[in-house]
Chain A
Amino acid sequence: MIRHVIKRLLLAVPTLLAMLTVIFVLVRLVPGDPAIAMLGDQATEASLQAMRSQLGLNEPIHVQYVDFLARALSGDFGRSMTSGRTVLEEVLQVLPYTLELTAAALFIGALLGLPLGTWAALRRNAWPDYASRIISLTGLSLPGFVSAILLLLVFAVHLRWLPVMSAAASDPVDHLRNLALPALNLGIIMAAYITRVTRSSMLNVLGEDYIRTARAKGVSQTRLVLRHALRNALVPVVTVVGLYFGTLIGNSVLTEIVFTRPGLGKLILGALTSRDYTLLQGLMVVFAAFIITVNTLTDLAYGLIDPRVTYD
């Protein structure tokens, strides 16, 4: 198992390198002079020249590439053009918020989606099945920012149960209250995905021979689902959760804006609007690394769920 983990981590390295290369090329393919893009067309030639050399754009391309790789791998993505702080500092400052939001969304998604999907599979073509399908379809088709606004209107504005803005709070209870609505917003979308895959994967598993064997052993319905079916149904669910993380980032941008919450989403938007070229490049690396990590974790989870996944 340990060997498998190490091997899988080593496999992530070439992916990371390829991804850094793509980002490097992408940034340089963007038409126009990045110095002008950043400083605006009113900038003097001297300041543009200074900017170019600061960005290393005067070096030959292969020198730029090696330099970029070396810096990126040591966590140095340069300084934000707008704040003057290092990109790493900027990211680390908001990363906990994003991680917390993501984890909470995943928790809510699993908490709602797994039972709902299982229930639908057990009552196939009866009302729980239809109800779950309608709920998950709604969750899937409703854009994240629309559901965010709806949640705000209902729980914050109308019922006044939860705060409208969810900035930092030192009190842990306030902190959770701040987290509740944004997490619910992303969690519902997550739950919609999880419900759907859980349902179909459960239906598959419930038709398997070993489920019939378990029934022939005198296993009760509850035990059948919890001990025999659920674990076997989990692999596709984990796959979808892993894939969904990519979408989750896009949705978290919108969620963070609607709830005025700090996070990577907000940071990327700020970098875009202020044309903060170095911050943007750094954020691309951070996001890509995030996705690679999630993929690696997903692969490792397969091994935990299914003993047939080989470790060699």
Chain B
Amino acid sequence: MTDPVLDVRGLQSEFRIAGRWYPAVRDFTLAVEANETVALVGESGSGKSATALSILRLLPAVGARIAKGSVMFAGQDLARLSEAEMIRLRGEAIAMIFQEPMTSLNPTMTVGAQIAEVIEIHRGSTRRSAMAEALRLLEEVRIPAARQRLNDYPHQFSGGMRQRVMIAMALACRPKLLLADEPTTALDVTIQGQVLALLNELKQSYGMSILFITHNLGVVAQMADRVAVMYAGEIVEFASVNKIFEQPSHPYTEVLLKAMPRVDRDSAGLEPITGQVPGITALPVGCAFAPRCPLRQPDCDRHPALAPLAAEADHVVRCVVRAGQEAAV
């Protein structure tokens, strides 16, 4: 097997609040293989965005830091690269798209210019050839009448069309890895389906890997090869998409699945999740999910490590009860 495209090990990212550093991402280890989509799922505040921003080193310059761990990409540790080296890499080898299509594009630049800019910066192309490429990209993401729309401004596009523009911009330099932070959450269901289908198709034709952040398990089923479930800054379960749906093993994953509307089940059986993710300043000492957990035991006061489930090395769970192993620090 070839090396993973992205190999994150023991990542810990922190924010400074009232003079103290608190971890928003902890003990985060995850690899993304070539041409694979890994979904990162979890409730609001579980640290999904913080993880993606850490990988691309886009956390705020002040009041945020990567405290521990490594982010291996193409033989380099991104956590240790200089800002100048990161600038060369962003948008070129790793691209990112964001949740808010309405505000993520510059309102005073034409969409053509915004796409062309990536090509100009990283390829040193002339404006002319970059614009030609921008047009090709707009056609590729299926913007109707792309030639006429090249010189339009973002406010002249609908949300779904803007997200297509964002995708065109992200693909401009054929990145190896795409970080997609809830790219369809703000779109209505039909548009969401179209954008997801487009992403899947482009992933194949461009041969890239995707780290797909979402809190929608329906989207996970459509997109992911493997799924990492995050809770309070940690991965609590990591397995193939089939295993996650058929054999959810962390109590939190079970709760998430029960709360998810599905076509094959009666929506009357839905169980809303009670409570919320603890804030980063108030993390419990032991298992972070314990206060909300139906299977809670005295052992849960100790912080569990991510451990393989029974005989399956590729299905890991962070739960004393389910993984039945020695609790770690």
**Closest A-chain residue to B106, C-beta based?**
A210
- A307, B106: Cβ atoms closer than 8 Å: no
- A209, B103: Cβ atoms closer than 8 Å: yes
Q: How far is the CB of A303 from chain B (nearest CB, A)?
A: 12
Q: How far is the CB of B60 from chain A (nearest CB, A)?
A: 9
The reply to whether the CB of A218 lies closer than 8 angstroms to some CB of chain B is yes
How far is it, in angstroms, between the C-alpha of A235 and the C-alpha of B288 when the chains are bound? 47
Residues of B within 8 A of A220 (CB): 87, 121
The reply to whether the CB of A175 lies closer than 8 angstroms to some CB of chain B is no
**Residues 120-149 of chain A: 1 if any B CB is under 8 Å from the residue's CB, otherwise 0?**
000010000000000000000000000000
How far is it, in angstroms, between the C-alpha of A219 and the C-alpha of B104 when the chains are bound? 15
Known: A218-B122, A307-B153. A213 touches B90 (CB 8 A): no
- A218, B91: Cβ atoms closer than 8 Å: yes
The reply to whether the CB of B279 lies closer than 8 angstroms to some CB of chain A is no
Q: How many residues of B contact A (CB 8 A)?
A: 28
How far is it, in angstroms, between the C-alpha of A191 and the C-alpha of B225 when the chains are bound? 57
How far is it, in angstroms, between the C-alpha of A249 and the C-alpha of B270 when the chains are bound? 69
The reply to whether the CB of A62 lies closer than 8 angstroms to some CB of chain B is no
How far is it, in angstroms, between the C-alpha of A106 and the C-alpha of B112 when the chains are bound? 34
How far is it, in angstroms, between the C-alpha of A217 and the C-alpha of B169 when the chains are bound? 8
Q: How far is the CB of B171 from chain A (nearest CB, A)?
A: 12
Known: A232-B108, A307-B155. A217 touches B103 (CB 8 A): no
- Tell me which residues from 191 to 231 in chain A have a Cβ below 8 Å from any Cβ of chain B: 208-210, 212-220, 223, 227-228, 231
Known: A213-B166, A216-B95, A218-B121. A231 touches B108 (CB 8 A): yes
How far is it, in angstroms, between the C-alpha of A227 and the C-alpha of B108 when the chains are bound? 10
Q: Which of B56, B95, B117, B155 makes the CB contact (< 8 A) with A219?
A: B117
**Closest B-chain residue to A306, C-beta based?**
B108
Q: How far is the CB of B320 from chain A (nearest CB, A)?
A: 38
Q: Which of B89, B103, B105, B155 makes the CB contact (< 8 A) with A218?
A: B89
- A216, B58: Cβ atoms closer than 8 Å: yes
Residues of B within 8 A of A213 (CB): 98, 104-106, 166, 169
- B108, A307: Cβ atoms closer than 8 Å: yes
The reply to whether the CB of B228 lies closer than 8 angstroms to some CB of chain A is no
The reply to whether the CB of A9 lies closer than 8 angstroms to some CB of chain B is no
Residues of A within 8 A of B118 (CB): 217-218
Residues of B within 8 A of A215 (CB): 58, 90
The reply to whether the CB of B80 lies closer than 8 angstroms to some CB of chain A is no
How far is it, in angstroms, between the C-alpha of A124 and the C-alpha of B89 when the chains are bound? 27
Residues of A within 8 A of B90 (CB): 215-218
The reply to whether the CB of A3 lies closer than 8 angstroms to some CB of chain B is no
- B153, A308: Cβ atoms closer than 8 Å: yes
Residues of A within 8 A of B107 (CB): 210, 232, 306-308
How far is it, in angstroms, between the C-alpha of A217 and the C-alpha of B153 when the chains are bound? 18
How far is it, in angstroms, between the C-alpha of A256 and the C-alpha of B169 when the chains are bound? 54
- B87, A218: Cβ atoms closer than 8 Å: yes
**Closest B-chain residue to A122, C-beta based?**
B61
Residues of B within 8 A of A232 (CB): 106-108
How far is it, in angstroms, between the C-alpha of A280 and the C-alpha of B58 when the chains are bound? 60
The reply to whether the CB of B100 lies closer than 8 angstroms to some CB of chain A is yes
The reply to whether the CB of B96 lies closer than 8 angstroms to some CB of chain A is yes
Residues of B within 8 A of A269 (CB): none
The reply to whether the CB of A305 lies closer than 8 angstroms to some CB of chain B is yes
Q: How far is the CB of A149 from chain B (nearest CB, A)?
A: 42
How far is it, in angstroms, between the C-alpha of A210 and the C-alpha of B113 when the chains are bound? 14
**Closest B-chain residue to A231, C-beta based?**
B108
- B117, A217: Cβ atoms closer than 8 Å: yes
How far is it, in angstroms, between the C-alpha of A213 and the C-alpha of B117 when the chains are bound? 12
Q: How far is the CB of A122 from chain B (nearest CB, A)?
A: 10
- A217, B91: Cβ atoms closer than 8 Å: yes
Residues of B within 8 A of A208 (CB): 103
How far is it, in angstroms, between the C-alpha of A215 and the C-alpha of B95 when the chains are bound? 10
The reply to whether the CB of B88 lies closer than 8 angstroms to some CB of chain A is yes
How far is it, in angstroms, between the C-alpha of A223 and the C-alpha of B103 when the chains are bound? 19
How far is it, in angstroms, between the C-alpha of A214 and the C-alpha of B170 when the chains are bound? 11
Q: How far is the CB of B164 from chain A (nearest CB, A)?
A: 14
Residues of A within 8 A of B58 (CB): 212, 215-216
**Closest A-chain residue to B166, C-beta based?**
A213
Q: How far is the CB of B83 from chain A (nearest CB, A)?
A: 8
**Residues 104-144 of chain B: 1 if any A CB is under 8 Å from the residue's CB, otherwise 0?**
11111100000001100110000000000000000000000
- A218, B104: Cβ atoms closer than 8 Å: no
The reply to whether the CB of B92 lies closer than 8 angstroms to some CB of chain A is yes
Q: How far is the CB of B5 from chain A (nearest CB, A)?
A: 18
Residues of A within 8 A of B62 (CB): 124
Residues of A within 8 A of B104 (CB): 209-210, 212-213
Q: How far is the CB of B107 from chain A (nearest CB, A)?
A: 6
How far is it, in angstroms, between the C-alpha of A217 and the C-alpha of B88 when the chains are bound? 9
Residues of A within 8 A of B56 (CB): 216
Residues of A within 8 A of B166 (CB): 213
How far is it, in angstroms, between the C-alpha of A208 and the C-alpha of B105 when the chains are bound? 10
Residues of B within 8 A of A306 (CB): 107-108
How far is it, in angstroms, between the C-alpha of A305 and the C-alpha of B166 when the chains are bound? 23
Residues of B within 8 A of A212 (CB): 58, 98, 104
**Closest B-chain residue to A211, C-beta based?**
B106
How far is it, in angstroms, between the C-alpha of A74 and the C-alpha of B242 when the chains are bound? 83
Residues of A within 8 A of B103 (CB): 208-210
Q: How far is the CB of B207 from chain A (nearest CB, A)?
A: 21
How far is it, in angstroms, between the C-alpha of A307 and the C-alpha of B153 when the chains are bound? 7
How far is it, in angstroms, between the C-alpha of A188 and the C-alpha of B106 when the chains are bound? 32
How far is it, in angstroms, between the C-alpha of A74 and the C-alpha of B96 when the chains are bound? 62
Report which residue of A212, A213, A216, A223 has the largest number of chain B beta carbons within 10 angstroms of its beta carbon: A216
**Closest B-chain residue to A217, C-beta based?**
B91
Residues of B within 8 A of A305 (CB): 108
A-B contact pairs, 6 of them (CB 8 A): A217-B90, A219-B117, A307-B153, A307-B155, A308-B153, A308-B155
Q: Other CB < 8 Å A-B pairs besides A232-B107, A307-B153, 9 of them? A: A210-B105, A215-B58, A216-B95, A217-B169, A218-B87, A218-B91, A305-B108, A306-B107, A308-B107
